[in-house]
Amino acid sequence: MKGLVFTELLSMAEDAIGEDAMDDILDTLDLDSDGAYSAVGNYPCRELMQIVGAVSEHTGLGTDVLQHKFGEWMFARFVEGYPQFFEGKTTALEMLDAIENEVHVEVRKLYPDAELPTFKTEFVTETDLKMSYHSERPLVAFCHGLIEACVAHFAQPGRVSVVTQPGSTTAEFEITLDRAA
Ligand code: HEM
């Protein structure tokens, strides 16, 4: 998993609980990287899970809640750092439909070692998109946070539903906008 994901997770956690508390947490974890991440490096997803687990214990927030918040945080970073992927996209559904065949394709060119999920999308109606998510990593709640942040970004009222199993690496999302753009 790209170092960028780790550096952003640490920024979010430091923002929430403070740098000292975060340093203490990292010290308690037996991380191969010692908690020193470079945005361009690559690190095992296991370490991300260890950090999320430890922040969960510290804050009392569930790991799914933290992953979800992290998805929202990461989406804002993507909007800021990669505006080119958002150009020409007028609705959240159009954006989400483009992740697999456009956005993550470009991500793979930029970072050939990126570990990306697979999405299959299907428009049920103009305002209703089904998005099935498959990964090798248990990041369903992170993905949920990204999708909800995407809907909020385009400022269109709508709902995101998810069907998954606890601890699963796959999920069926359905994004329904209240009305057409
Ligand atoms: C709402 C839109 C998006 C969704 C739903 C989405 C979904 C995901 C998910 C769920 C992951 C975690 C990996 C996994 O699940 O196996 C991921 C990783 C990633 N995505 Fe996206 N993504 C979105 C937009 C973007 C954008 C705009 C970028 C722009 C650069 C991007 C770049 C990345 C990168 C760099 C990773 C990390 C890969 C790694 O750690 O090796 N994604 N994405």
Q: What is the distance in A from the centroid of ligand 1 to the CA of 116?
A: 7
The identity of residue 70, as a single letter, is F
Residue 74's pLDDT is 98
Q: Could you tell me if 68 and 56 are in contact, meaning their C-beta atoms sit under 8 angstroms apart? A: no
Residue 179's pLDDT is 85
CATH, range 69-177: 3.90.1520.10
Looking at the CA of residue 2, tell me the nearest atom of ligand 1: 40
103 lines ligand 1 (CB under 6 A): yes
* pTM of the model as a whole: 0.95
Residue 127's pLDDT is 97
Residue 40's pLDDT is 87
- Which tokens in the block code for residue 146? 């990204």
107 lines ligand 1 (CB under 6 A): yes
> How far apart are the two ends of the chain, measured CA to CA in Å?
35
Q: Of 45, 48, 173, 64, give the one whose Cα is nearest residue 116.
A: 45
In the predicted model, residues of the chain with pLDDT beneath 50 are none
Report the C-alpha dihedral over residues 90, 171, 55, 41, rounded to 10 degrees.
-70
| Residue nearest atom 27 of ligand 1, based on CA coordinates | 78
Cross-strand bridge partners of residue 159: 176
Q: Which helix (H) or strand (E) holds 78?
A: helix 63-81
Q: What is the distance in A from the centroid of ligand 1 to the CA of 71?
A: 9
DSSP 14-70: HHHH-HHHHHHHHHHS--TTTT---TTSB--HHHHHHHHHHHHHHH---HHHHHHHH
- Among 93, 102, 104, 129, the mutation site with the greatest number of ligand 1 atoms within 8 A of its Cβ is 104
Question: What are the pLDDT digits (tens) for 105-146?
Answer: 999 999 999 999 999 999 999 999 999 999 999 999 999 999
DSSP structural state of residue 2: B
Residue 181's pLDDT is 74
141 lines ligand 1 (CB under 6 A): no
